[in-house]
Amino acid sequence: MSDQEVVTSRTSAYAFVPAKTIDESSLIKFAATVWPERPPYDRILSCWWRRAEPTCAIAAVHEPTGVMAGLCAGRPSEWIIAGRMHPAVAICDWYVTPEHAGKLLGKRLVRHFDVPGRFMYAFSMSDAAIAYLKRLGWVGPYTSSFLVLPLPRVARIPLSFMGTRNGLDLHDHDIGGGETLGALGSALDRIETRGADPAIARMRRGAAEWSWRLSICGRRHYRFCVAHQAGVPAGYVVVRRMTPGSSRLLGKLECAIITDLVAANDDPQVIRALAARAAALAGEMRSVVGLICTTSPTQRRQLAAMGFVSSGFPLLGRFLERRAPVFMWAPRGPASRLEADGMAFTFADSDVDLAL
């Protein structure tokens, strides 16, 4: 999905090469150095970019020693900004080992993805990454809304939220990594063409995007629900089990992640019906908590009304506010006039869905 070719380049004592070309033992040693508190270190071998195109991740190698010194991945996509489509990349998995800090490697790794006309952004970052991107002139950070649904609340979701009471037909689809979308692909494309507020910049969703994600997501299994209104696809929601232990904050808690929630024109009725179905699907997965992230005020209001706990909730709300994913972007090219309240984000817009 990227039009940039990776070639080996040399600056100072470092070679910049596709991260897929690094041998497994070197990757594991690198992980142990940058994440000493996060064993097992061989988890790096299951990273999504190892199954993606070589253009999706770059490594810095110290040539005198052959040691891997840095890593930066870029999750590719297409964004609709001001009514026009632009190539985009979300910076993620961006680390430099302590022994090679101060060599401007972080800057060089990010600039590898900085191509004219490309929208560059980052979502769900560490404090260190935020500070570094600020020095590079990026805008932000801005906070998204992180909402949690304790699944025992599912039983208390009013029937009025269910699609069958509002003239909506809901259709479920189960798809695993490596599988094809089939008829679901055309429904996703129809929802995409119905569009949303043209003033809101958003990632282009549809069959091509989801086919790419399924091709590199490994063993993940997604459950889709598509809402139809008068026989026409009007929105969809995607739910899956989060890998236990993949989040330091949640540990091995059995969680379901609502990867994406899309409603044509942010229709509140469609949002409510899909969110209710997502909660039911999460319950069927025997999860105890459902997680969703959004920057849409309409989605936030509808989800809160259904029992999702947000930052305004006493005590737990403070926990959520401190841990809500933040986003930043490079204010160049197609993003030169973007504002934070004019951008749509969910977990699907970065590598969060592919990492947790």
**228-270 tens-digit pLDDT:** 999 999 999 999 988 766 666 555 667 899 999 999 888 999 9
Q: What is the pLDDT of residues 338-349, one digit of tens each?
A: 999 999 999 999
Q: Which CATH superfamily is domain 9-117 in?
A: Gcn5-related N-acetyltransferase (GNAT) (3.40.630.30)
β 232-241/57-62 pair status: unpaired
Q: pLDDT for 90-110, tens place per residue? A: 999 999 999 999 999 999 999
- Percent of all residues in the chain with a pLDDT value above 90, rounded to a whole number: 67
Q: 280 by DSSP, 3-state: which?
A: helix
208 has pLDDT over 90: yes
Yes or no: say if 291 and 299 are a contact pair by the CB < 8 Å rule: no
Task: Dump pLDDT digits (tens) for 182-201.
Answer: 999 999 999 998 866 788 99
Residue 322: pLDDT band (50, 70, 90) is confident
* The model's pTM: 0.88
How far is the C-alpha of 25 from the C-alpha of 36, rounded, in Å? 16
Q: Give the right CATH number for 145-324 from 3.90.1720.10, 3.40.50.2000, 1.20.58.1000, 3.40.630.30.
A: 3.40.630.30
Q: Examine domains 9-117 and 145-324 and report if their fold is the same.
A: yes
Compute CA distances 247 → 242, 307, 323, 338, whole Å: 9, 23, 12, 31
Q: Which 3 state secondary structure label does DSSP give 250? A: coil
The more confident residue out of 307 and 232 is: 232
Bigger pLDDT: 151 vs 38: 38
Question: For residue 212, with 0-12 CB atoms within 10 Å meaning exposed, 13-18 middle and 19 or more buried, which class applies?
Answer: middle
Q: Are strands 168-176 and 221-229 parallel, antiparallel or unpaired?
A: antiparallel
Q: Which amino acid appears at position 311 of this protein?
A: S
What pLDDT shows up at residue 353?
Answer: 86
Rounded Cα distance, 236 and 226, in Å: 4
Name 261's Cβ contacts closer than 8 Å, sequence gap at least 6. Answer: 235, 236, 237, 238, 271, 274, 275, 278, 292, 294, 299, 346
Torsion angles phi and psi, residue 332, rounded to 5: -130, 160
* Domain extent listing, the chain: 9-117, 145-324
Q: What amino acid occupies position 266?
A: D
